[in-house]
A and B are shown apart, each in its own frame.
Chain A
């Protein structure tokens, strides 16, 4: 029987509770958003004692289902003030699930400021230990020390110095398959919320744990096989396919061709240095330099897509894992930087300090716009990152994200929604993604519903990225589908295969039914997703958000974006239609 682990940081206790009936069929994002809506006062201060952080593995996480090791981290975001769910793929999620933990709820706040704790969870139970010895250090130094102390079999959630300093772009870090501090639930500053609660690490070890109950083993095997087959045959997800060969950064060249690769703080949709930082360039660099360089790396055991990579230094030693599309773009094209070694270093610093790469890149770009550096100046970008890590007065400003930095520097061109900087798709060129940026409960977030798919990447080409018509419906359906997927524990990238191969989606739903004992069909997916969206929307409304917040920044309405030279012209009414669920 799975449990909820409630960690109270006010009285420093960790207790197991039964899972209430209403939460039984939820996991991942569906569960974190449900608990947040039920337990967190929407108007609370995100860094105060009444906010809570919920961590939840997906519905099928911890089972042999392929590519299913995602964890959701939810609560109220200090970056946006909205509800937040941000997920990552990591062995940590599998450990929690196999320990029979459906969710960890972290609440309260220690009376003593500046003290930090470590939660140790294993089959014997859960206890809080002092963690002060790890404070103020980089995560690349601390993670190996923790693995030495708790054993290589353990898995670790942590926050870096950015979280300790309660920066709104502090992420929540998880180890990858080899123990690197490199998989982030990056968005929305949830690392700062954990910092405000003094919880620095959770160390989980599933050795001897009960494992995940599967209600119907035969059904599970049937579903798992269908999904595995779909992933193994689809051109994008199979071994030797697009993701496995080039990583997610394969999108750099594609978005550049589409005129939708945001460049130099969203002032152009085309980057002249794109080919130098593309997925193909990464694969080539890995091949030529050899050594530790790896393409087709899995972030957690059981991923058969394996889109991750390890970027080597010129001498072949390891520099960083992972250069994925969003990080590559945020710290590359968006800052006018076309050098993969500089981008690798910036990603390494984000991982070490505990920062979201997307918000970091967005912030540096706004800082460049504000005159703190020239676009393209990689060395200066690295210096700015150190300011953040060291917590200098300037660093404390930058660490609050792009919108805050823009205010501090008097910058008008701040490409965010609800305080969160946009990811790697230019909404003036790809209108549908703009609809999602504007309307998702998360603040500008691409994973909330990729209209990128039908607009840029679909077969047939009936959806024109520059057309306005019909975008609300597309965005609504995709947001719902994504909310479901984010609840299952499956990686978003399984979507390529399940959208094209109907048996794949069937198999996915069957594995969920097999674990939960539900009787869902593929037609229920959209409705389940909508339930999640409705709860998230309800939280935001109670927190004071209105449809006036579901808008893109004003400059996009009057400033045309090259090469298409189009402005943002989706009517407000259409944005509002997204929420006619």
Chain B
């Protein structure tokens, strides 16, 4: 089982949607799961997900593998803020 904390408009994928509280979904893990896999499984379209994805408080890409007991924090695309001026190209390569 892993725990996914959702924010902003993604809170609609949980039963506790109060913006002043925690909106959490618990998902059973399948062999080889990445963050993208589990998000898709609970019905979230990846287009709505921004770059602000955290696995156990570490900034992560969607392709990162998840493990039993992980905690994910996922923000939508309109909640990703600030500078990547000089780094976007670097980021996009490789």
The chain A residue with its CB closest to the CB of B73 is A257
Cβ contacts under 8 Å, A499 to chain B: 83-85, 88
Known: A284-B19, A459-B91. A453 touches B78 (CB 8 A): no
In the complex, whether B58 has a CB less than 8 A from a CB of chain A is: yes
Question: Closest Cβ of chain A: how far from B85's Cβ, in Å?
Answer: 5
Q: Is A500 an interface residue (CB 8 A)?
A: yes
The listed residue with most A CB atoms (<10 A of its CB), out of B5, B21, B86, B92, is: B86
B77 at the binding interface (Cβ < 8 Å): yes
Bound form: Cα–Cα A551–B83 in Å: 23
* Complex interface: chain A residues within 8 A of B7 (CB): 253-254, 280
Q: Is the CB of B91 within 8 A of A462?
A: yes
B5 neighbours in A (Cβ, 8 Å): 257
Most chain B CB inside 10 Å of its own CB: which residue of A246, A459, A495: A459
A-B contact pairs, 14 of them (CB 8 A): A236-B78, A236-B81, A254-B52, A257-B75, A258-B54, A454-B84, A456-B81, A458-B83, A458-B87, A461-B91, A463-B59, A481-B86, A495-B85, A499-B84
Interface assignment of A241: CB less than 8 Å from any CB of chain B? yes
Q: Which residues of B contact A243 (CB under 8 A)?
A: 81
Chain B positions within 8 Å of A, measured between CB atoms, are 5, 7-8, 18-22, 50-54, 57-61, 73, 75, 77-88, 90-92, 94
Collect the chain A residues with CB atoms within 8 Å of residue B88's CB.
Answer: 458-460, 499-500
Residues of B within 8 A of A460 (CB): 51, 61, 88, 91-92
CB-CB nearest in chain B for A280: B19
Write the chain B residue with the least CB distance to A495. Answer: B83
- Of the candidates A242, A269, A278, the one whose C-beta lies within 8 Å of that of B80 is A242
Asked if A190 lies at the interface with its beta carbon under 8 angstroms from chain B, I say no
Q: Contacts of B92 on A, CB cut-off 8 Å?
A: 459-460
Tell me which residues across on chain B come within 8 A of A269, comparing CB atoms: 57
Select B75's contact among A241, A254, A283, A474, beta carbons within 8 Å: A254
- Contact pick for A254, options B19, B21, B81, CB 8 Å: B81
Contacting pair B54 A457 (CB below 8 A): no
* Across-interface contacts of A270 in B (CB, < 8 A): 57
Chain A interface main SS type = helix
Check B51–A453 contact: CB distance below 8 A. no
Instruction: Contact check, B75 vs A458: say whether CB atoms are below 8 A apart.
Output: no
A454 interface neighbour in B75, B77, B83, Cβ under 8 Å = B83
Q: Are B20 and A283 touching (Cβ within 8 A)?
A: no
9 closest Cβ pairs, A-B complex: A453-B83, A257-B73, A460-B91, A259-B57, A280-B19, A458-B84, A453-B82, A461-B61, A454-B87
Task: Establish whether residues B54 and A495, one from each chain, have CB atoms under 8 Å apart when the complex forms.
Answer: no
Confirm or deny: A43 has a beta carbon within 8 angstroms of a beta carbon on chain B: no
Cβ < 8 Å to B, chain A residues 412-471: 429, 450-466
Question: Which residue on B lies nearest to A243, using beta carbons?
Answer: B81
Q: How far is the CA of A483 from the CA of B85 in the complex (A)?
A: 13
Contact A281 B20 (CB under 8 A): yes
Q: In the docked arrangement, what's the CA distance between A270 and B58, Å?
A: 13
Asked if B81 and A478 sit within 8 Å, CB to CB, the answer is no
Interface size class of A (residues with CB under 8 A): 35 or more
Q: Is the CB of A474 within 8 A of B20?
A: no
State in angstroms the CA–CA spacing of A465 and B83 once bound together: 14
Q: Is A534 an interface residue (CB 8 A)?
A: no
Knowing A257-B54, A456-B59 are in contact, say whether A241-B83 is a contact too (CB < 8 A): no
**Distance (Å) between the CB of A402 and the closest chain B CB?**
25
Does the CB pair B81–A250 fall under 8 Å? yes
Chain A residues positioned under 8 Å from B78 (CB to CB) = 235-236, 241-242, 245
Of B8, B53, B80, which one neighbours A280 at CB under 8 angstroms?
B8
A235 to B50, CA, bound (A): 10
Query: Hey, which chain B residues are within 8 Å of A25, CB to CB?
Result: none
The answer to the question of A275 belonging to the interface, with a C-beta cut-off of 8 Å to chain B, is yes
**A563 to B57 alpha-carbon distance, docked (Å):** 8
**Chain A minimum-CB-distance residue to B80:** A457
> What 6 additional pairs, Cβ within 8 angstroms, besides A251-B81, A257-B73?
A245-B78, A280-B8, A283-B19, A456-B59, A457-B52, A564-B58
* Cα A245 to Cα B77 with chains together (Å): 13
Would B85 and A464 count as touching, CB distance under 8 A?
A: no
List residues of chain B with CB within 8 A of the CB of A450: 82-83
A140 interfacial by beta-carbon distance below 8 Å: no
Contacts of A232 in B (CB 8 A): none
Asked if A258 contacts B59 (CB within 8 A), the reply is yes
A150 on interface, CB distance cutoff 8 Å? no
Q: Known contacts A459-B51, A460-B91; decide if A451 and B80 are in contact (CB<8 Å).
A: no
A contact residues around B54 at 8 Å (CB): 257-258
List residues of chain B with CB within 8 A of the CB of A564: 57-58
Answer whether residue A496 sits at the interface, using C-beta atoms and an 8 A cutoff.
yes
Q: Are B51 and A458 in contact (CB under 8 A)?
A: yes
Partner of A463 from B18, B53, B87 at Cβ < 8 Å: B87
Contact between B77 and A235 (Cβ–Cβ < 8 Å)? Answer: yes
Q: Which residues of chain A come closer than 8 Å to B20, judged between CB atoms?
A: 275-276, 278, 280-281, 284-285
Contact residues in A for B50 (Cβ distance below 8 Å) = 235
Q: List residues of A (61-93) whose CB comes within 8 Å of B's CBs.
A: none
